[in-house]
Amino acid sequence: MVMNFLHDRQTLYLFGGVLAVLVVATIVGQLLRWRIGPNDVIANLNARIRAWWIMSAVFAVSLATGGIGSVILFAILSFFALREFVTLTPTRPADHAALFWVFFVITPLQYYLVATKWYGLFAVLIPVHAFLFNPSRIVIAGDPASCLERSAKIQWGLMVCVYAVSHAPALLMLNIPGFEGKNARLLFFLVVIVQLSDVLQYVWGKLLGRHKIAPVISPSKTWEGFVGGVLTATALGGALWWATPFNPWQATGMAFAITMMGFAGGLTMSAIKRDRGVKDWGATIEGHGGVLDRIDSICFAAPIFFHMTRYFFTP
Amino acid sequence: MKRVVASGVVGLARVLAGGNVRRIGFTPDERQRIYFANHTSHLDFVIVWSALPKRLRVLTRPVAARDYWANGVRRYLALNVFNAVLVDRVRSEATTPNPLDILLDGLGERHSLIIFPEGTRGDGTHLGAFKSGLYRLGQARPDVELVPVYIDNLNRVLPKGEFAPVPMIASVSFGAPMHVGDGEEKADFLDRARNAILELRQW
């Protein structure tokens, strides 16, 4: 697998591209700091760029170690995202045992199913088995107070942070004729388009943003930023078609679906944060808030991208 | 070996409960201190200990209940890794040394202590009344700074009566150091100390 990766010229091009973008971003960030001097926005920008370097390096290592590295990376992301989610969700002492199962049995099992490519159980473990198990375990603990609400919140966290996210490394289990051994590029495509779309929406919003989409939920999201970001990220996705099993139009369509779902994910998770009265899910990554702040778009985009690819491109 | 275990424990504590460490009017340094915190979980002192810089951890000794920490792995961790000061929750005989003397002895000339003046674990929402030990320590060692510490959310990681922990983001807030005032009454000081923790709650 390691050799595959190094010998796969197109994947190396993709990583070369990311490296070039990061180098340019770092130079621009340092130039801005040098020209304009100490400034909160620029300090935050530079912190974000530093975090991007680290995240890209981790991602590169996980891809280079083959499928298992990516599965482990996303399992860890799920674990910490769920930890952030449950922290901000009111639970009662009677939920303790159910939560223990959620963190230490269901989450690892879901990723074990990804690693062993057991699609049948992977698809139903959380929406069926965990869905029925959790409320039962909660009720056995004997506290009926708002028991529907507690089960629903735990299930929702599990669906978003674990089930949805696990569809990203699950891209590696798809058998696409003529694309064998290159599935890591699908994962790369998903992550790059989601992140580009986030960044470009932010940039277009700062440049042209006038009309807010949902000012109460996320004051920084504007129609100008949304349209500009979605269009440029979709176009860039189309331009990356050569690295995917898709033709240029298919790649454009996939990128469009990814950006729309990413946007929906970001907005929905913002609404939940706002309801809980916080700005960030955590403070794990300098300049980026918590893990869930970084992967909220992937949560929504990964399952849709996975199923579109599975439905249209696998026999 | 001790260092490896210590890093392992700190790493585990961070994965399970790692979160924000806030310092409000407090700068960590090698001065002798008594950190006093609200008590909601057996993991309390581990998380306070982990929130301190590495060089201060070797100088900081948690005060822990002998009955919980006296056997097996816990004993090893308490005595060898945390260098804990073990005290009896219930003073059995008049012949056993006074707990205050055990604490003063544990403090010595260079160590700091972590204590929980409520005595027992609360439910995480209510801060109980303080026992007088903190006041007596403050009187006996006026040179040692008393630092209020508020631990938030750790009761959800390991609630009273549960065996297995669940990961959750807990936060530890250190407040401004205080002393027992000249001629200050016991009740007044304990109120002041308790309020110092309650104030940290608002951060």
pLDDT, residue A1, reads: 44
Length of chain A: 315
Interface membership of B162 toward A (CB under 8 Å): yes
For residue B168, the chain A residues in CB contact (below 8 A) are 83, 86-87
C-alpha–C-alpha distance, residues B64 and B61, integer Å? 9
* Angle formed at CA B18 by CA B17 and CA B21, multiple of 5 degrees: 125
pLDDT, residue A171, reads: 94
**Chain A residues 53-92 within an 8 A CB cutoff of chain B:** 79, 82-84, 86-87, 91
- Report CB contact under 8 Å: A100, B166: yes
Mean pLDDT in residue range A124-148:
92
> Are both A213 and A281 inside the same structural domain?
yes
* Residue A154 burial by Cβ neighbours in a 10 Å radius (0-12, 13-18, 19+): buried
> For chain A, what is the domain count?
3
C-alpha–C-alpha distance, residues A198 and A193, integer Å? 9
- Per-residue pLDDT tens digits of chain B, which is 203 residues long: 778 888 888 888 888 887 778 888 888 888 899 999 999 888 888 889 988 988 898 899 999 888 888 888 888 888 888 889 988 876 666 656 788 888 888 888 899 999 999 877 777 778 888 888 899 999 999 999 999 999 988 888 888 778 888 998 888 999 999 999 888 899 999 999 999 999 988 76
Q: Which domain holds residue A260?
A: 182-315
C-alpha–C-alpha distance, residues B50 and B44, integer Å? 10
CATH assignment of the domain containing B49: 3.40.1130.10
How many other C-beta atoms lie within 10 A of the C-beta of residue B125? 7
Q: Which of A87, A134, A161 to mutate to test the interface with B (most CBs of B within 10 A)?
A: A87
Q: Is the pLDDT of residue A231 over 80?
A: yes
The model carries a pTM of 0.86
pLDDT, residue A6, reads: 55
> Are both A97 and A133 inside the same structural domain?
yes
Q: Which of A76, A83, A88, A291 to mutate to test the interface with B (most CBs of B within 10 A)?
A: A83
Cα distances (angstroms) measured from residue A210 to each of A34, A203, A213, A314: 29, 13, 10, 43
C-alpha–C-alpha distance, residues B94 and B103, integer Å? 17
Mean pLDDT in residue range A137-141:
91
- For residue A113, give the amino acid letter: L
For residue A86, the chain B residues in CB contact (below 8 A) are 166-168
> Are both A286 and A234 inside the same structural domain?
yes
C-alpha–C-alpha distance, residues A139 and A126, integer Å? 18
SS3 of A82, please? helix
> Are both A308 and A210 inside the same structural domain?
yes
Q: Complex ipTM, two decimals? A: 0.80
pLDDT, residue B188, reads: 93
> Are both A314 and A230 inside the same structural domain?
yes
Task: Among A65, A92, A110, identify where a domain stops.
Answer: A65
Q: Is the pLDDT of residue A5 over 60?
A: no
Interface membership of B5 toward A (CB under 8 Å): no
> Are both A12 and A33 inside the same structural domain?
yes
* Residue A298 pLDDT grade (very low, low, confident, very high; cuts 50, 70, 90): very high
- Report CB contact under 8 Å: B166, A103: yes
> Are both A214 and A155 inside the same structural domain?
no
> Are both A205 and A161 inside the same structural domain?
no
Tens of pLDDT, residue by residue over A113-133, are 999 999 999 999 999 999 999
Q: How far is CA B37 from the centre of its chain?
A: 5
> Are both A58 and A73 inside the same structural domain?
no
Interface membership of B20 toward A (CB under 8 Å): yes
Q: Is the pLDDT of residue A260 over 60?
A: yes
Nearby residues of B190 by Cβ (< 8 Å), 6 or more positions away? B117, B129, B130, B132, B134, B135
* Residue B202 burial by Cβ neighbours in a 10 Å radius (0-12, 13-18, 19+): exposed
Q: Which domain holds residue B96?
A: 2-200
Cα distances (angstroms) measured from residue A166 to each of A101, A176, A219, A297, A298: 17, 19, 30, 13, 10
Interface membership of B198 toward A (CB under 8 Å): no
Q: What is the DSSP letter of A44?
A: H
pLDDT, residue A56, reads: 83
Considering only CB atoms, A96 lies closest to which of B153, B166, B169, namely: B166
> Are both A158 and A270 inside the same structural domain?
no
Q: Which of A100, A143, A158, A285 to mutate to test the interface with B (most CBs of B within 10 A)?
A: A100
* B134 neighbors B197 (Cβ within 8 angstroms): no
pLDDT, residue A3, reads: 45
- Report CB contact under 8 Å: B167, A103: yes
> For chain B, what is the domain count?
1
Interface membership of B169 toward A (CB under 8 Å): yes
- Report CB contact under 8 Å: A87, B153: yes
Task: Among A173, A200, A215, identify where a domain stops.
Answer: A173
* B45 neighbors B82 (Cβ within 8 angstroms): yes
Nearest alpha-carbon partner for B66 in B102, B101, B32, B36 = B102
Helix axes A67-87, A40-64, angle to 10 degrees: 140
Task: Among A65, A89, A116, identify where a domain stops.
Answer: A65
Q: Is the pLDDT of residue A288 over 60?
A: no
pLDDT, residue A7, reads: 59
